[in-house]
Amino acid sequence: MILDMNGIYKDYLLGKEPVPVLKDVNLQVDEGDYIAIMGPSGSGKSTLMNIIGCLDKQTAGSFIFDGMDISQCSDKELSDIRNRKIGFVFQNFNLLPRQSVLENVELPLLYAGVGKRERREMAKQALIKVGLEERINFKPTQLSGGQKQRVAIARAMINNPKMLLADEPTGALDTKSGEQIMKLFYELNSEGVTIVMITHEREIAEYARKIMLIRDGEISDCGGGAEQ
């Protein structure tokens, strides 16, 4: 089991009032799983995703990731987990606009301390894999939405992380681009990468092996997905 969440609570402070967003979330993910999490807007999907991605901390509950108790980890350890074990894909791509496609993909390698020449080479390979070898010297603004998201996936996967986290990866894309992204996810998953994806589109969720539903801060298995 790569991810084991038990009794996770998350409150946000609105002024001094704590507003509960996650209430007793239990989630287990095995290595190689492909999970889609659905739910209405404001139900706490992103909140859960941020905790899984070690970007935010739960208010209460235990969270074991790849054998490590995340609540005990130092700032430095969390940085390294985010760098090496997790890849992020965001709805709005989050590419650095002033840097080239290649430089964007190189970033996680830079933080991992990989030398310049090796970085170049690895980033190039990753871009070839997502079909963007022609665009390596472009600026992100010169790309279409689907291309931007593929750059983001190349960047997320550059350090060979165990898990790919995607928060509405197709939310800003047209159907065709969305399908391409899902094809990429499928390939990655068949290579053994664990994927947790948030979406509110049923068709997109159907690509996953398992679909979960969040409603009012509680998570439930709702059936569906490729495994059923």
Ligand X SMILES: Nc1ncnc2c1ncn2[C@@H]1O[C@H](COP(=O)(O)OP(=O)(O)O)[C@@H](O)[C@H]1O
Q: How far apart are CA 228 and CA 226, in angstroms?
A: 6
C-alpha angle 118-120-126 in degrees, rounded to nearest 5: 100
| Contact call for residues 159 and 41 (beta carbons, < 8 A) | no
| Contact call for residues 58 and 10 (beta carbons, < 8 A) | yes
Q: What is the smallest separation between the CB atom of 81 and other proteins, expressed in angstroms? A: 8
Q: What is the smallest separation between the CB atom of 130 and other proteins, expressed in angstroms? A: 17
Q: What is the smallest separation between the CB atom of 27 and Mg ion, expressed in angstroms? A: 17
Q: What is the smallest separation between the CB atom of 76 and other proteins, expressed in angstroms? A: 6
* 41 counts as binding ligand X under rule CB under 6 A: yes
* 43 counts as binding ligand X under rule CB under 6 A: yes
| Contact call for residues 5 and 26 (beta carbons, < 8 A) | yes
Options 36-44, 75-83, 151-159, 176-184: segment touching ligand X (CB under 6 A): 36-44
Burial class from Cβ neighbours inside 10 Å (0-12, 13-18, 19+) for residue 32 reads middle
Burial track 95-133 (b if 16+ CB lie within 10 A, e otherwise): beeeebbbbbbbbbbeeeebeeeebbebbbebbebbebe
Task: Read off the tokens for 106.
Answer: 């190189």
Q: Which residues pair with 14 in a beta bridge?
A: 17
Q: What is the smallest separation between the CB atom of 46 and Mg ion, expressed in angstroms? A: 3
* 39 counts as binding other proteins under rule CB under 8 A: no
* 55 counts as binding other proteins under rule CB under 8 A: yes
Options 61-69, 72-80, 128-136, 169-177: segment touching other proteins (CB under 8 A): 72-80
* 75 counts as binding other proteins under rule CB under 8 A: yes
Question: Which of 39, 44, 108, 225 touches other proteins (CB under 8 A)?
Answer: 108
Question: Which of 3, 46, 182, 213 touches ligand X (CB under 6 A)?
Answer: 46
| Contact call for residues 98 and 119 (beta carbons, < 8 A) | no
Residues interacting with other proteins, by CB under 8 A? 50, 53, 55-56, 75-76, 79-80, 82-84, 88, 90, 94, 96, 98, 107-108, 110-112, 155, 159
Residues interacting with ligand X, by CB under 6 A? 12, 14, 21, 39, 41-47
Residues interacting with Mg ion, by CB under 5 A? 46
